[in-house]
Amino acid sequence: MLEIAHGAARAVIAPEGAGLKSYEIGGVPYVETYDDEPPMGSGAVLVPWPNRVAGGRWVLDGEEQQLEIGEPARGNAIHGLVRRAIWGTVEHTGSLISLETPVAGLGWPVELRTTITYALDENGLSVSHGVTNVGDKRTPFGVGTHPYPRAGASATDETSLSLAATTVLPVDAQTMIPNGPATPVEGTEYDFRVARLLEGVQLDTAFGGCEPVDGLVRHVLKGPAGGVEVWADPDFKWVQVYTPDNFPGRGRAVAIEPMTCPPDALNSGVDLLWLEPGESWAGRWGLRPLS
């Protein structure tokens, strides 16, 4: 495992997948952690697409592509191609680590290089993603991440969630693939623009229309024993929220997953990012502890 620290803050990153394994300040956790294998996508880096691709099939320049099926029960490709990669270390100081890996094969037609930098400072943990097209033709892509933030020592059902999202995306309950356009959250059970207690809330839901405040998209968990803000650059217009009851060692947990595009975006085209050969993209998100 790879560790960074700043004062009383400490974060651990797994070299396989470059995922965030833990983040705490003075022993107080701000993400769920795990012992060995990351459960339920915990901490995963989702490149070159987040969430699902229906049947693993999509079309680039008139040619059908077939991605590896990572979710056999539903027949979908899921969460990109770098979760099992052994990332190489580019830089590792006391409070910062940068890692990189190629993105190629397994049905992905244009070679990319992706980087991630985790850095700790007095404001919390920041995570910077980079993607470069090292292939010979234009390609779409998306970026996401899969943290399970914690409101400090608060129990999940004692925390309140607020989201920057203004829309919700309907999906087929069997495939978890979108079956219609995003619709406004106003007046629905999916309106988290004002904080709502998570007790009794069950979500595995993609939200869109995430609107920045002071230049950043901001989602917040707050509880009686602390809070945390999940912030992101404006390119992260989507967020998946998942509330499992059986996170190992925790039970009820909540994933707040910033994404640049929705599920099945390689087919819908919604909010895909594009790179010409030689071009690069960069985007950031992070965790800011709240008192």
Domain boundaries, the chain: 2-290
Q: Residue 146, Cβ neighbours under 10 Å: how many? A: 25
Residue pair 205/256 in contact by the 8 Å Cβ criterion = no
- In this prediction, residue 291 carries a pLDDT of 82
Global pTM? Answer: 0.97
Whether 39 and 33 have beta carbons less than 8 Å apart is answered as: no
Tell me the C-alpha distance between 87 and 110, whole Å: 19
* pLDDT tens-digit series, residues 194-234: 999 999 999 999 999 999 999 999 999 999 999 999 999 99
CA angle centred on 256, ends 255 and 259, rounded to 5°:
125
Q: What is the pLDDT of residue 36?
A: 86
Please give the pLDDT value at position 110.
98
pLDDT digits (tens, 9 = 90+) for 233-258: 999 999 999 999 999 999 999 999 99
How many CB atoms are closer than 10 A to CB 93?
9
Whole-angstrom CA distances from 182 to 105, 168, 207, 254, 255 are: 31, 5, 8, 22, 20
Structure tokens, 213:
């405040």
For domain 2-290, the question of CATH label 2.70.98.10 is answered with yes
pLDDT of 21-64, one tens digit each? Answer: 999 999 999 999 999 899 999 999 999 999 999 999 999 999 99
> Quick one: DSSP state of residue 143?
-
Residue 143 has pLDDT above 90, yes or no: yes
Q: Average pLDDT of 149-165?
A: 98
pLDDT tens digit string along 82-91?
999 999 999 9
Question: For residue 40, what pLDDT is reported?
Answer: 96
What CA–CA distance (Å, rounded) separates 38 from 43?
7
Which stretches within the chain are classed as H helix? 265-268
Q: Which residues contact 251 (CB under 8 A, 6 or more apart)?
A: 156, 245
Range 134-141 average pLDDT: 98
Residues 60 and 109: beta-carbon distance below 8 Å: yes
